[in-house]
A and B are shown apart, each in its own frame.
Chain A
Amino acid sequence: MSAKTDRIDRLAELTARKDEGGHGLWYEAFRRLRRNPLAMTGAVIILLFVLIAILAPWLAPHDPAAQTWLGEIRGAEGFIPGPRSGNWLGVDGLGRDELSRLIIGSRQSLLVGVVATLLGFTAGAILGGLSGAFLGMFGKAGRWVDSILMRFNDMALAVPSLLLAISVATILGQGLVTVMIAVGVTQIPVFARLLRGSMLAQSHSDYVLASTALGVRKRRIVLNHILPNSMSPVLVQATLSLATAIIEAAGLSFLGLGGANAANPEWGVMLADSQQYLATNLRLAVYPAVAIIITALGFTLLGEAMREALDPKLRK
């Protein structure tokens, strides 16, 4: 039985590959990505961001927590000195080197983005995958399970994400872990809905009909054919969600939920701290904001290009 279905699987796979011109979906997508200048820009930004985050302790010219007495270095243009030799981007309101804080801060942003996205991705994919699998495998009972899971999901979508975040903060206290979990939790229903929808769309494909006609068991169709083919929109969403996570984390820090200490600066907290100097020293808000925007743009550019590259409708 198994040997036979194995052969059928193999046959289906070979036929599918042949249609695509001898290469797999991902290979084709990667080739298209490499020719897309926007995707490459995004990839370069992400690479730089990751490198800076990894090498931060060696790149930062100063200790991010070390303070200089402002009276000593008071610049001519204002109370808080701007760019000058020794501090390329000037110092912040407490006399700490702005550039060093930005560089070290990249680590926190990367961490928040990756952990929150992983959390949302994993939990969401399990939820959505279960829903889709039950729907595909167990007929009426499966539809019941799917319907219950998805109603839960809809309810989670209706609850304002900020409230979820604040309640996570009341349980765990302020801090980076809170921000990660809060941002991650709000991503779960998005991933769940996406994977379920994608599996549902795939289950109407010709290859599923063909496999069913050939007598392949439902479980095998769902797990070996539908599920892997449904993953591409979810992976695209994961890339985009890295950007959202970094921006949302900044928003939570702005509302006072993020907890970064002096030695571990975070872009969102830096932006929130800069509020009190907004009228006199706008640059203190601009630096971390620009850092957030460029990083988020990198992930968004790559994610959008991936979406286009993986979309069969746009393939020529």
Chain B
Amino acid sequence: MLRYIVRRLLQLVPTLFGLSILLFAWLHSLPGGPEAAMLDVRATDAKRAEVRAALGLDEPLIVQYGRFMKRLVRFDLGDSFTTGTPVMEEFGRRFPATVELTVVAMIIAICAGIPLGYLAARRHGRIFDGLTVTGSLLGICIPIFFLGFILKAIFAVKLGWFPSLGRQDVDVNATRVTEFYVLDGILTQEWDASLNALWHLILPAIALASIPFAIIVRMTRASVLEVLGEDYVRTAEAKGLRENTVRGRHVLRNAMLPVVTSIGLLTGGLLSGAVLTETVFVFGGIGSFLATAISNRDYPVLMGFIMIIAVIYVLINLAVDLSYSVLDPRVRVR
């Protein structure tokens, strides 16, 4: 087990190395440069060259890449071209927002998706099943920003139950510890601040949860249907095990394997794909920051953020693979 984890982590090194080269080549091949975003369109060529030199962009690409790698081995990702702050610091400030949003969205999707999918499978072919399937398909087909708008228009603007934007009310005077606003409130025992942040999370999280919810419902339903037809379920029922034991130990546990895989992949996707939701609810996570970074050609931010996301993506997949051996003793990782 430990050897397996170590090997997987070692495989990260060449993958990240390849990714860094590809990313570097891709970003620097985009037309225009950071100076175009920093200077007025009327700036002279001399001024542009001056700015490029100040950012170290006048050197050959290979030298620039070497400098990037030299810093990287010391876990230094350089400073953002646009804000001037270290990339790590920017990331530390924005990533918690995205993580909070993703986690709450996934909790909603899982808590609603798995029971619904399970019930639909138990009532296979009846009205409840049909409604669940159609409803989950609708969840995939609704453009996420439209759902965000509708939720905002109804629950924030019309009814006023939830705030319509931001992570916390501006008049909440909260102490920052980890930049995870909900967690900060708990750590400092400022319960109001924590609750306020949670309140801000609900609407965007519901919007973001729509697609993973739909996928989890269908995965669970299909998987449970398949397991229900297995011989061991019939055997378990035939030998008179209580229904709850059969459901929990035999059906659900075996049906969870593919569901867990998709949950892992979905979480990875949400971390980088929350841009639309973050834009609609002005949430200030990494998605919207990345989108502006690319139009500003903020190379350090882009390189840094994407590489960190890639590492997290790989780690999530590793966790998924490890969870197999917990859920299914037949699967032994080697």
With contacts A151-B18, A167-B30, A251-B145 known, is A158 near B309, CB below 8 A? yes
Per DSSP, are chain B's interface residues mostly helix, strand or loop, or mixed? helix
Contact of A158 among B30, B31, B313 (CB under 8 A): B313
Indicate whether A155 sits within 8 Å of B138 (C-beta atoms), given known contacts A166-B295, A254-B145, A292-B143: no
B272 contacts chain A at the CB level, 8 A cutoff: yes
Contact of A278 among B31, B153, B314 (CB under 8 A): B153
Considering the complex, give the chain A residue whose CB is closest to the CB of B22.
A155
Q: What B residues does A160 contact at CB under 8 A?
A: 272-273, 275, 287, 290, 306, 309
Flag if B142 contacts A293 (CB, 8 Å). Answer: yes
Question: How far in angstroms is the closest Cβ of chain A from B83?
Answer: 19
Report yes or no: A278 in contact with B149, Cβ–Cβ below 8 A: yes
* Complex alpha-carbon distance, A254 and B146, angstroms: 10
Residue B144 interfacial (CB < 8 Å): yes
**Distance in Å: Cβ of A146 to nearest Cβ of chain B:** 15
**Whole-angstrom distance between the alpha carbons of A255 and B273 in the complex?**
13
- Stretch from A85-93, A225-233, A297-305 that touches the partner: A297-305
Nearest to B11 among chain A residues (CB) is: A151
The residue on B at minimum CB distance from A170 is B30
User: A161, A250, A296, A313: which contacts B273 (Cβ < 8 A)?
Assistant: A161
Most B CB atoms within 10 A — which of A38, A171, A285, A289?
A289
**Whole-angstrom CA separation of A271 from B144 in the bound complex:** 12
Measured CB to CB, the nearest residue on chain B to A274 is B149
| Contacting pair B138 A158 (CB below 8 A) | no
In this complex, what residue of A is CB-closest to B310? A158
Count how many chain B residues have C-beta atoms less than 8 Å from C-beta atoms of the other chain.
44
A141 at interface by CB-CB < 8 Å: no
Smallest distance from the beta carbon of A136 to chain B beta carbons, Å?
23
A187 CB to nearest B CB, Å: 14
The residue in chain B whose Cβ has the minimal distance to the Cβ of A151 is B15
A271 near B291 with CB under 8 A, answer no
Interface assignment of A223: CB less than 8 Å from any CB of chain B: no
Taken together as a complex, chains A and B put the C-alpha atoms of A278 and B153 apart, in Å, by 8
Complex Cα distance, B283 from A284, in Å, reads: 25
Query: Number of contacts between A and B (CB, 8 Å)?
Result: 107
Q: Determine the chain A residues whose CB is within 8 A of the CB of B314 once the complex forms.
A: 158
Complex Cα distance, B309 from A151, in Å, reads 16
A159 lies within 8 A of chain B by Cβ: yes
Which chain A residues numbered 126 to 162 have a C-beta less than 8 Å away from chain B? 151-152, 154-155, 157-162
Per-position 1/0 for A163-177, Cβ under 8 A of B: 100110011000000
Whether B137 sits at the interface, judged by CB under 8 Å, is yes
Residues of A within 8 A of B153 (CB): 278-279, 282
Indicate if the CB atoms of B294 and A247 lie closer than 8 Å: no
Q: Mark B66-105, 1 if CB is under 8 A from A, else 0.
A: 0000000000000000000000000000000000000000
A275 sits at the interface (CB 8 A): yes
| C-alpha spacing A254/B292, complex, angstroms | 15
In the complex, whether A234 has a CB less than 8 A from a CB of chain B is: no
Contact indicator B157/A279 (Cβ below 8 Å): yes
Q: Which of B243-272 contact A (CB under 8 A)?
A: 268, 272
B146 adjacent to A285 (CB under 8 Å): yes
A243 in the interface (beta carbon within 8 A): yes
Q: With A and B bound together, what is the CA distance between A297 and B214 in angstroms?
A: 13
Q: How far apart sit A151 and B18, CA to CA, in the bound complex (Å)?
A: 9
Nearest chain B CB to A181's CB is how many angstroms away?
Answer: 15
Known contacts A251-B143, A300-B137: does B294 contact A170 (CB below 8 Å)?
A: yes
Instruction: List, in ascending order, chain B residues with CB within 8 A of A285's CB.
Output: 146, 149
Give the residue name and chain of the B residue nearest to A292 (CB): B143
Q: Are B137 and A297 in contact (CB under 8 A)?
A: yes
The 9 closest A-B pairs by CB, nearest first: A160-B272, A296-B141, A158-B310, A289-B146, A158-B313, A297-B141, A293-B141, A166-B294, A155-B19
Please report A residues at the B interface, Cβ cutoff 8 Å. Answer: 38, 151-152, 154-155, 157-163, 166-167, 170-171, 243, 247, 250-251, 254-255, 268, 271, 275, 278-279, 282, 285, 289, 292-293, 296-297, 300-301, 304, 313
Name 8 extra pairs, CB < 8 A, besides A158-B310, A247-B141, A247-B143: A158-B306, A160-B272, A170-B294, A171-B31, A251-B145, A285-B149, A297-B138, A300-B137
Binding site for A on B (CB under 8 A): 14-15, 18-19, 22-23, 26-27, 30-32, 133-134, 137-138, 140-146, 149, 153, 157, 218, 226, 268, 272-273, 275-276, 279, 287, 290-291, 294-295, 302, 306, 309-310, 313-314
28 contacts across the A-B interface (CB closer than 8 A): A151-B14, A151-B15, A158-B309, A158-B310, A158-B313, A160-B275, A160-B290, A162-B273, A162-B290, A163-B294, A166-B295, A167-B26, A170-B32, A171-B30, A243-B140, A250-B143, A250-B146, A255-B276, A255-B291, A271-B143, A271-B146, A279-B157, A285-B149, A289-B143, A293-B138, A293-B142, A300-B140, A313-B226
